[in-house]
Structure formats: structure tokens, C-alpha cells
Amino acid sequence: AYRTDEGQPWVLPVVKKVEQMIANDNSLNHEYLPILGLPEFRANASRIALGDDSPAIKEKRVGSVQCLGGTGALRIGADFLRRWYNGNNNTATPVYVSTPSWENHNSVFMDAGFKDIRTYHYWDAAKRGLDLQGLLSDMENAPEFSIFILHACAHNPTGTDPTPEQWKQIAAVMKRRSLFPFFDSAYQGFASGSLDKDAWAVRYFVSEGFELFCAQSFSKNFGLYNERVGNLTVVGKDADNVQRVLSQMEKIVRTTWSNPPSQGARIVATTLASPQLFDEWKGNVKTMADRVLLMRSELRSRLEALGTPGTWNHITEQIGMFSFTGLNPKQVEYMVKEKHIYLMASGRINMCGLTTKNLDYVAKSIHEAVTKIQ
Amino acid sequence: SSWWSHVEMGPPDPILGVTEAYKRDTNSKKMNLGVGAYRDDNGKPYVLNCVRKAEAMIAAKKMDKEYLPIGGLADFTRASAELALGENSEAFKSGRYVTVQGISGTGSLRIGANFLQRFFKASRDVYLPKPSWGNHTPIFRDAGMQLQAYRYYDPKTCSLDFSGAMDDISKIPEKSIILLHACAHNPTGVDPRQEQWKELAATVKKRNLLVYFDMAYQGFASGDINRDAWAVRYFIEQGINIVLSQSFAKNMGLYGERAGAFTVICSDADEAKRVESQLKILIRPMYSNPPVNGARIASMILNTPDLRKEWLTEVKGMADRIISMRTQLVSNLKKEGSSHNWQHITDQIGMFCFTGLKPEQVERLIKEFSVYMTKDGRISVAGVTSGNVGYLAHAIHQVTK
């Protein structure tokens, strides 16, 4: 979760404003939302992912399902795929998850009923970057019609994203091998500060004619973590296909949670639908993204100034909330035990935990860990 | 070509589809007696005063939006358990229970269904009353369970077929799962009397059945939360370790906020901790953690003495209005000159009434009178007002005389 420079959670100013508007609106009540969610939320959420000028939206071949956070969107998508993709109830369709990935990806698809969950190469520990060759090779060798979970931006946990050129290569292989793209978009806007930039990959795939799913989370970019606001965007070949897909997703939703929670969706819908509030929101998002980017650059420059062994450009080349520092488990143990700096055994740090007050301490501690422990 | 060419168009949800058809109707006299959402005597949705107050108190606290734990808001889950079990419950006081926050009634039922599928190895069979809420069957089926039924409603008398139920239940294979509606049976409104509950408890105990209570209307049925939870509490006192799903959609009017809870009564606190850990493992890949808003409101109400008192009064007010509409419907039917016995309308309890109307009669009500209900003749009494009860009685009389 995001933290301010004081190390505190941050409720976005635009969210506070909109919550007040909602509280003051006596015409609102707590009635059930439709099964697929608040219509204004669904349409606006998909528009954010695909772009105002998206040809897919113009061609009415985009569907949306309001879900409980990004997790809920992944789960509804996974449940649907297990029932209807690559045949009927084909639990044998391979599902590929990056190595490493968010650990819940595996559980979501497993609990949805898929029996064959595999990994694809992603992180190259030696060069601290993307193992593109490994990734493309895995895609070449994957059985036709396999499902690939792709991180739309700010890969969790490595912070390492393919470049546009690399995405183009990935798309080409996926098209040729008939692989299904299931995007996980949890950080749109939060990664680079630009909604459009962070959605580039998803939009590229759409422009290449793919049918795809995109699980969107508004937990981070709206700071609405506990309201569980998510959206499953479905891009299909045409309106008729999308309509039938949505009708079946409705049945899945009905036995999972019946209809989604209204508070968070109202906040997002109100914000996205108003040009003024939308601009305000983009500003708030940029504030968060900029702080993270600043911490990255400050951490890197301190490490380089200290002459910490190794290269540290990956700290600023990586993007989003997390960074794979490259620290090994022993060095991590030193950080935790001796310096009381908490990070994952994988060497992953949450950049949001850095503040102007603790930057020096963290940089020095990393320096110590790297020089004292091999 | 598309991946989805073979995907069939799913049929519209039978219950929610009624509201959609109602919305499209332009008749000024139209009545929506479909979905079970409470309406005041002006036919408007009712936001409880205690809810508004709780919301204001919550807003004033300026809390952050950090994720809830997977199992939900602790103050909420504890208060939900206490509400269901009673503050003097031995099971509650000893801590031999686990309650997790669920996405209203449906989500709580589904967590339970998934939990049973994974951990209740003795049987795949879930016995539902005939009839039951339409969504019970697909929920359990999607969780991987099999559905069976026991007799419950007697269409000849529009009341409980108690001997049929006892007969069927006494033959259910041991260690099967039986689902019971704690109060205000949906869709029939027919509840067992306390002596009948006692016999049911003895029988399920003898058959060694796992009891799954669905309590979506505590307080809303009789107007008294303790009375409505009587069966749940009695079963537990008889040593039956039930599982329970609760909803706060109706009794707090929190429909769209999705406030609910799933409870497992365990042998001891240690077992409860182990069960809790497994419930969390089930929840995480569904939606990670639950939505805060409804749970905070419910928690504020249940845990603030003044608000709780106000809530109890308001929930009784809703129950009383419904009871009064039942009475008025029956008297209006008499006034229309109907010779049928409509006593079941006032004998039944809760939001719903199984009118006894046949599908052809329901269809006429919809087409000729714009009175919308589900095909099984179920009406939501909450949709009846003193302003339209006369029209409803007239319409029913026309299609049944």
C-alpha cells in the first residue's frame, strides 16, 4: 500500500471530496447494484484501461464486470475461462504465471479449477532485468491456446516491465501460437504517473486484434484498498460474442457474491465521469507516482555515491511500488535482523516505505549488507 | 473467429429479471413484488436512521482505507456472532466458534459451501427444503456439491408439511448436510413452530447430519432478534455444531454494501483457529479481503448501545409494517368477495408470501395488471403499501375467482 513521506496511509483528496458529495446526496440509498455492477463505473473503468478513442469501445465489443478488487476480477475471469475457454470445462488448458509473480495468481487459477498451472521465465537475476529470450521461448513452446497472465505494468514483484518493442515481440508470438492474454492491471497511473503510458501494452494487444481479459484494480491508483473496487474488462471480436460472455459471467457472479459492493464503485464512477474530478484524480495519482519515482532516484544516487558494490541502475529502471534489489537471502537477513529494515527474502522492497527521513539509513544499510555479506 | 462462438446466452436471473421487466413497464399502477428489498409505505427504499447516524459517526473518524484482514473487520465479525448466538451463549463465550466476514448472504453461503467441499469429506450431498431460495442450488453446485431435497412446503395447505419433512429427514443418509432457513423461510414464509424445531433438532442429531443454517432475516421476521434466532440457538444448545450464514442486507437495509458473515461452531477454540486459517485460504483467491463499508456500518450499530437500541426499534418497525400489510391484504381480498381461504397470508412470516397462485395466474397478473412477482407465486410483501394493497387484492381476486 502507498505511504506518504511521513510513512502514513493516504486517502486521496479527490476521494475525500467525492465521499463528502456522496454523503450529502440524500437521493442515494443502499439498494442492490445490478449483478454486473454499477453501469457508470463499468463503462468508465474500461474506458480508462482502453483509452477514450479505443476502436474496440467504438465497435461495442468491450464488456465490463464490476468485481471485488483486482483479485475478484481475476477470479471471475478465471472461473469463466475454466468453463468456456478452449472447449467446455477444459480444466487441462495450461495457465502460465511469470516467475516470479504475485503469489495469489496461482491460487486464483487453481481454485477456479485449472489443473495445469505452469511458469514462464521472466526475471533474470544475473542481469537484474527481463529474461526476454526465456519468456519468448516459453511462449513458443507452450501448447496452443494456453492462457498467459501478463502484468500490464509495474510487474509485481520485480518492477521490471517489457519495453514497447519487447511487448511487440511478445504479442507477435502470442498471436502466432494462439495464446490467450489475461492482463493483470493493478497499477495503472501509479507506475509512471501517466494512465496512457501504463496502459500501452493492453491497448497495443487490442489494436493487434486480440480477444483478451484485463483485470483492473482501483485499490492502489484510487487508494480504495478496503472498498474492493475492481473491473474485469472483456475485449471480444464483436458485440454479440461479448454479450454472451457477459451473460455467462453474470451467472458466475450470482453464485459468488450476487452483486458487488456499491461504495467504492460510486466513488470511482463519480470521479471518472466528471472532467474536473478526473483531472484532480490524475493529479493525485501523479503525486503518488512521483514520490515513488523520487525515492527510486534518491536511493540509487545514494548507493552510487557510497560506492556500494554492484550496479544500481535497476532501482530507477524498475517501475511501480516494488523493486527487486538483488540482495540475496543472507543480505536480507542482515537488513532485517541488524538494521530492522523489513523486506522480503526475495530482496523485494516496497518503495513506498522509503521516506526522505529514512533514505540515508536505508542506503547505508544496503551498503553494509552488500559489503559485509556475500 | 472468436474464442466465444460456442458460448450460449445465459438465461436472465429469474428473480432479478422480474425487476428488469417491471422497470420497462409504463403502467402507472405497476407493482414490483419481485425482489426482496424492503420498501416503506410510500413504496420507497428505506435507509434506516441508525444507518445514517452510523455513517456520520464513521465519516467523522476520518479513517484510512487500508485493507481489512482476510477474515474481515474483527469488531463486525464478533458482533455478528454475538447477535446470532446470543451474548449468553456458551459457544460464544468460550470462543469455540469462528466467524469470517462474507459478501452478504450469498458470499457467506459460498464460503461455507466451498469450505464443506474441501473439508467435509463424509458427503457431497446438501439437502435443501422444497422449495428453497433459487440461488441456493447454483451456489452449492458451483462449489462442487450435489443437491438433494426434503419435503417442506405443502401446496395444498400453503403451510409446513411437517410430517413429510420429518419423514424425509429421518431417512437422510448419515453425515449428509442439511440446510435450514433459520426464520422467514424464503420463498414460502412458512416457518416451523418451536415444538417442531425441537423435533427437527432431535432428528438431525440422531441422523448425525451437518446442519447449515441460512439466516438472512434475523429481526426482520417477527420483529424480535432473539425470537428469530431461537432455532439457531436451540440447535447449538443441543450440542449440534452448526455452520451459519448471516446477511445484514434486509435487517439493516445494507443491501448494496454486502455485509454478511459465515460462522462455524467448533469443538473448541483451537479447532476454531484451525478452521479460520482454512477459511482464509479459501477467501484469498476469491477476492483477497472483504469490503469495509457495510461491515463498519453494521459494527458501529451493533457495538454502540444507543444505535443498537434504535436499530432494534427500526427493524421491528419494518417487520410490523409487513405484518400489517399481510393483514390488510387478507381483509381486502375478503372485501373483494373472494371465497378462497387466504389465511396462509397472515400465517406466513417475513418478507415473502407464497400466495398459492399458479403460473398461469401469475402471468395474467403481470400482463393484465402490471403486478410483478416470480413465477412460483411468491410475492415480496415489502413491496405492498397501504396505497396499493387494494389494487393488489383486486388483481388477485380477478385471476382467482
Looking up residue A139, the CATH number of its domain turns out to be: 3.40.640.10
pLDDT of residue A223: 98
**B20 band by pLDDT with thresholds 50, 70 and 90:** confident
The Cα of A129 is separated from the nearest Cα of chain B by a number of Å equal to 29
A267 domain-assigned: yes
Inform me whether the C-beta atom of residue B67 falls under 8 Å from chain A C-beta atoms.
yes
Q: Among B103, B284, B294, select the one facing A257 at the smallest CB separation.
A: B103
Helices within B187-268 (DSSP H only): 194-206, 225-228, 230-237
Phi and psi torsions of B121, nearest 5°? -80, -15
Q: Residue A141 is inside which H or E element, if any?
A: helix A132-141
3-state secondary structure of A276: helix
Please tell me which residue in A167, A220, A281, A312 is annotated as part of the active site. Answer: A220
Q: Residues of B numbered 124-153 whose beta carbons fall under 8 angstroms of chain A's beta carbons: which are they?
A: 135, 138-139, 141-143
Q: Among B3, B142, B293, select the one facing A255 at the smallest CB separation.
A: B142
A280 domain-assigned: no
Is the same domain home to A344 and A242? Answer: no
A279 domain-assigned: no
Residue B263 has pLDDT above 90, yes or no: yes
- Total tally of structural domains belonging to chain A: 2
Average pLDDT on B44-49 reads: 96
Find the closest chain B residue to A9 by CA distance.
Answer: B64
Catalytic positions of B, written as ranges: 133, 214, 250
The Cα of A333 is separated from the nearest Cα of chain B by a number of Å equal to 26
A73 domain-assigned: yes
CATH number of B14-46+320-399: 3.90.1150.10
ipTM for the predicted complex comes to: 0.96
Residues of A in contact with B249 (CB under 8 A): 32
Residue B13 has pLDDT above 80, yes or no: no
Count of CB contacts below 8 A, A vs B?
A: 182
**Residue spans per domain, chain B:** 14-46+320-399, 67-303
Report yes or no on whether pTM surpasses 0.90.
Answer: yes
Is the same domain home to A32 and A110? Answer: yes
Q: Say whether A32 and B255 touch across the interface (CB within 8 A).
A: yes
Residues of B in contact with A213 (CB under 8 A): none
Is the same domain home to A70 and A193? Answer: yes
Report yes or no: B231 and B213 within 8 Å, Cβ to Cβ.
Answer: yes
**B74 band by pLDDT with thresholds 50, 70 and 90:** very high
Question: Is there a catalytic annotation at residue A184?
Answer: yes
Is the same domain home to A308 and A212? Answer: no
Question: Is there a catalytic annotation at residue A198?
Answer: no
What Å distances lie between residue A130 and A105, A207, A324, B76, CA to CA? 19, 24, 12, 45
| pLDDT tens digits along B76-113 | 999 999 999 999 999 999 999 999 999 999 999 999 99
Question: Is there a catalytic annotation at residue A220?
Answer: yes
Helices within A307-355 (DSSP H only): 313-317, 329-337
CA angle A289, A127, A201 (to 5 degrees): 45
The Cα of A356 is separated from the nearest Cα of chain B by a number of Å equal to 22
Looking up residue A298, the CATH number of its domain turns out to be: 3.90.1150.10
Average pLDDT on B264-271 reads: 98
Q: Among A75, A84, A211, select the one facing B286 at the smallest CB separation.
A: A75
Is the same domain home to A258 and A170? Answer: yes
C-alpha cell at B193: 413452530
**B242 band by pLDDT with thresholds 50, 70 and 90:** very high
Is the same domain home to A69 and A213? Answer: yes
**B19 band by pLDDT with thresholds 50, 70 and 90:** confident
Inform me whether the C-beta atom of residue A19 falls under 8 Å from chain B C-beta atoms.
yes
A281 domain-assigned: no
Question: Where a domain ends, among A218, A245, A273?
Answer: A273
pLDDT of residue B36: 82
pLDDT of residue A135: 98
Give the C-alpha separation, B275 to B118, whole Å.
12
Burial A308-324 (b: 16+ CB within 10 A, else e): beeebebbeebbbbbbb
Residue B384 has pLDDT above 80, yes or no: yes
What Å distances lie between residue B298 and A349, B77, B96, B157, CA to CA? 37, 10, 23, 38
E runs forming strands in A47-194? 62-67, 95-99, 117-121, 123-124, 129-130, 147-151, 180-185
Among candidate residues A149, A106, A155, the one with its CA nearest the CA of residue A130:
A155
Question: Where a domain ends, among A225, A242, A273?
Answer: A273
Residues 6+ apart with CB under 8 A from A57: A46, A47, A50
Inform me whether the C-beta atom of residue A313 falls under 8 Å from chain B C-beta atoms.
no
The residue type of A291 is R
Give the C-alpha separation, B157 to B124, whole Å.
33
C-alpha cell at B120: 467435509
Inform me whether the C-beta atom of residue A13 falls under 8 Å from chain B C-beta atoms.
no
Q: Say whether A11 and B104 touch across the interface (CB within 8 A).
A: no
Interface test with B, best of A3, A148, A226 (most B CBs within 10 A): A226
pLDDT of residue B14: 75
Is the same domain home to A248 and A353? Answer: no
Is the same domain home to A200 and A159? Answer: yes
- Residue A80 structural domain: 13-273
pLDDT of residue A46: 98
Rounded to the nearest 5 percent, the helix, strand and coil shares of chain A are 50, 15, 40
pLDDT of residue A105: 98
C-alpha cell at B262: 459465515
Is the same domain home to A296 and A260? Answer: no
Residue B124 has pLDDT above 90, yes or no: yes
Is the same domain home to A256 and A305? Answer: no
Per-residue pLDDT of chain A (374 residues; tens, 9 = 90+): 999 999 999 999 999 999 999 999 989 999 999 999 999 999 999 999 999 999 999 999 999 999 999 999 999 999 999 999 999 999 999 999 999 999 999 999 999 999 999 999 999 998 889 999 999 999 999 999 999 999 999 999 999 999 999 999 999 999 999 999 999 999 999 999 999 999 999 999 999 999 999 999 999 999 999 999 999 999 999 999 999 999 999 999 999 999 999 999 999 999 999 999 999 999 999 999 999 999 999 999 999 999 999 999 999 999 999 999 999 999 999 999 999 999 999 999 999 999 999 999 999 999 999 999 98
pLDDT of residue B298: 98
CATH: 3.40.190.10, 3.40.50.150, 3.40.640.10, 1.50.10.20. Which one for B67-303?
Answer: 3.40.640.10
pLDDT of residue B12: 78
